[in-house]
Structure formats: structure tokens, C-alpha cells
Amino acid sequence: MAQRIDVKDLNIYYGDFLAVQDVTMTIDPQSVTAFIGPSGCGKSTFLRTLNRMHEVIPGAAVEGTVEMEGVDLYGPDVDPVAVRRNVGMVFQRPNPFPTMSIRDNVLAGVKLNNRRISRSDAEELVEGSLRGANLWNEVKDRLDKPGSGLSGGQQQRLCIARAIAVKPQVLLMDEPCSALDPISTLAIEDLIGELKQDYTIVIVTHNMQQAARVSDRTAFFNIAGTGKPGRLIEMDETSTIFSSPAQKSTEDYVSGRFG
């Protein structure tokens, strides 16, 4: 299920503007990798290149390679739609489809991928995905109610259920807890710990304690100044990054001296 990602010499552009420069990293399967760094340093932008979501913005382009199990995601005959079916994503703000019931939200991705699914298979998948997202017990009696009626934390777990229902290899999370209260945050963090058995998880977070709690490896991004490109400063075991990082700027950031 889980797949490894190799990024080599990646430059990300928006038009002529170089947003992120020269990133090389390896993301291990069945692990949680956290991206930390100050606002605007390009960690979310970089995350979005891993499923080609940054291409939504006109003029976005990349140089370099992003390989998933040896296949370059930016190869000439790779369809971005196929990439996104393989790489799930959870966003900063919970975004269940407001016009769909909880059940239909979970099934939304599956219905895109292969239109017909038998009723019993659908029921099984809904239950499995909601259990996988630790939401089943809270919503099993109201699967036909709109997803937007849930609390923020439940909505975010619904979005995770929707993402894992299509059985992706990789799960990207762009600050998944920044709009949630501490208890919902804890629920999501526990869930991340369970999900890493099956998926490669990459999480962007502004919360350094969260990175320390949930991730196995941490990458620190920084930016030299406004208008300069973001760069990967260093990447290591999470415990190393938070105790004895190699770079001075990493130590300054994780100890709270700036940012």
C-alpha cells in the first residue's frame, strides 16, 4: 500500500517567480514525515507538488523529479488526475461536500474512480473508511445527514475517511488541525499514528509540538527573505531535529527564537 517518494533537485515556479528552490529528499513508506517552517517558506507549495495540486494555479511549473516507487510523477505521459487518485490530500480547513450526505461524502472519490459500486460493497466501504477515520461510532446513525452538520473535528475526520476510501498510497495533510480545538486535534493525531501502518503520510504543520508528537522524520524549510525562494534547510529523525539539529537556523526555529 504505502509507497516511497524520492524528490530530486526540485524547483517550483509560479510564472517567473521561483517559489521553492532545490529540494532533494526521500520520504519513507509507512512513516509520518512532518514539514515545519515559518509562514511563506514554501512547505505547503512543496506538499502540493507531491500530488500535482499546485498546478491548479495558472502558471505553476516544476523542474526536477518527484518519483514514487521509481515513476516520475511529472513524466510526459503521467496524468495528474491519476496521480491524485494515488495520493490523497486533507486540507487546512475541513471541506466535506456540503450538498452531500455523510455517506455520499465518503463515497465521493470512489464514485469518480469506478462509477458503479454495489450497494453492499458501498456499505462496507463506508463503514470501513469511517472506522479507519475513527468516526464510525459518532455518525453511524446519521449517515444520510449532511456532512456539513458535523463539528469541525468530525468534518476533518470525514475528509480523512473520504481520502482513504479511494485507497491511496500516500496521504498528504496540509495543516489538518489548524482549524480545530485541542481535543479534536488529539483525535486527529491519534488517527495519524494509526494510519501510518498503511500509508505514507506527509503532514505540514505550524505546531512544533505536533510535529514532535506525530512524526518520525521532520523537514525544516526556511526562507531568506520576502521574494526569495523557500529552501529545505535540513531533514532528519524528528528526535534529532528537536534535540540536536545540524543547522543553527533549525535550532533557532524549534527553540522558538524566531518564527
- Chain residues binding other proteins by CB under 8 A are 51, 53, 56, 58, 81-86, 88-89, 91, 93, 95-101, 108-109, 112-113, 146, 148-149, 159, 162-163, 166
Identity of the residue, 55 or 251, whose beta carbon is nearer to other proteins in the bound complex = 55
Identity of the residue, 16 or 144, whose beta carbon is nearer to other proteins in the bound complex = 144
Strands 60-68 and 217-223: unpaired
CB of 165 to other proteins, least distance (A): 9
Distance CA(232)–CA(5), nearest Å, equals: 16
Identity of the residue, 202 or 232, whose beta carbon is nearer to other proteins in the bound complex = 202
Strands 17-27 and 5-14: antiparallel
Strands 5-14 and 71-72: unpaired
CB of 95 to other proteins, least distance (A): 4
CB of 98 to other proteins, least distance (A): 3
Of 38, 45, 48, nearest in space to 18 by CA: 45
Report the alpha-carbon angle 8-221-26, nearest 5. Answer: 35
Of 187, 238, 185, nearest in space to 31 by CA: 238
Identity of the residue, 101 or 249, whose beta carbon is nearer to other proteins in the bound complex = 101
CB of 231 to other proteins, least distance (A): 26
